[in-house]
Chain A
C-alpha cells in the first residue's frame, strides 16, 4: 500500500518524464486498481492543471524584433576558431623558444654584474691602504664618576691625613701586601 504523499511525488515525477517506464507502469497499475489512489490521482491532476492555468494565463504579447545588429556584433566580438588555432600555434612557438629568452636574460644579468664590478672595483696598480680608526668611549669610572674608585678614595680620605687612611681595604690583594709589609 502506497501512502498518498509518495504517490503524489511519483505522479509529479512522471509528469516531468523523470521516471523509468517500469515505474510508470507500476504506478498506473496502482492507480487503476486502488479506488482511493484513483481519487488522489484525480485531485493531483486537477491541482496541477490549475497551477498551469494560473502560471500560463498571462499572454506575453508580441515578441519584440530580433536584435540582429546587436547579436551580429556579439558574434563578431567572439573569437573565431581560426583565431584560437593561430593563437594556439603562436603560443606553441613561444613555448619552443623559451630557452632563448632564458639565455638572453641570464646574459643580461651577467653583463650587469660585470659592468658593476668594473665601475666600483680598485684601480689597477694602486694598493689600497686600510686604516682602522677605533673610537674609544671614555669610561665613567676612569673619569671619576660617582661610583668610581677615585671618588670612593677621595670620600674615604676626606676627613683624615693622606698618610692615615681611615678606610682599611680588606681585599685579598691587600692581604698579600700587608703580609709583605
Chain B
C-alpha cells in the first residue's frame, strides 16, 4: 500500500468539506462540484511532489480546484457564482435573517475578484498567504482586495439601512 495514498485520503477528509462548499458556490450543479473535488485530488496525486513541496497543501488544493473550475467554465462558456440568497440552510430568525439577506445581497454585488477573496478569507478561513497561492496574486493584492470588499459591504449595508422607511 502506497503511504502517499493514505496521506491524500487523510487530506481529502480534512480539506474536502470546506473545498466542496467553495466549489458548490462556484458551480451551479452540485454534481459538477463533486466531480471537480475528486478531479482535484486526482490532479494532486499526479503532482504529489509539488503538493508535498507546497508551504500550504490546502492553498495548493484550492489553486488546483480553482483552475479546474475555470477550465470547466471556459468549456461551458459559463462564469457564474451561485446566488447566496438561495441558501436553504440560512437561519430563519426574524431580524437576523433580514440582516443576513442584506449581507448576501451585498456580497453578491461585489466584483468577482473581491468576492472570491472575501469568500476565501471569511468563508474558508484561509490566511493571506494561502489566498495569494490559491488566487495566484501577491499578498498585497489579497490584502487590498479584502479591505476594499469590506469597505464596499459596509458602505452598501449602511446605505440600505439608512434608506429603509
Contact = CB atoms under 8 A, between A and B. Distances in A.
Contacts of B2: 72, 75
B142 to A, nearest CB: 9
Interface in A106-125: none
The secondary-structure label for the interface of chain A is helix
Interface in A39-58: 44, 47-48, 50-58
A13 interface: yes
Interface in A52-78: 52-61, 63-64, 66-68, 70-75, 77-78
A3 to B, nearest CB: 13
A12 B127 contact: no
B17 interface: yes
A64 to B, nearest CB: 5
A12 B34 contact: no
Which of B24, B45, B118 is most buried by chain A, counting CB atoms within 10 A of its CB?
B45
Interface of A: 5, 8-9, 12-13, 16-18, 44, 47-48, 50-61, 63-64, 66-68, 70-75, 77-78
Interface of B: 2, 4-5, 8-9, 12-13, 16-18, 20-21, 24-25, 30, 34, 37-38, 41-49, 84, 87-91, 99-100, 103-104, 107, 118-119, 121-123, 127-128, 143, 146-147, 150-151, 153-154, 157
Given A13-B143, A16-B146, A66-B9, 11 more contacts: A8-B150, A12-B150, A18-B127, A47-B154, A54-B100, A55-B118, A56-B21, A57-B90, A58-B24, A72-B2, A75-B45
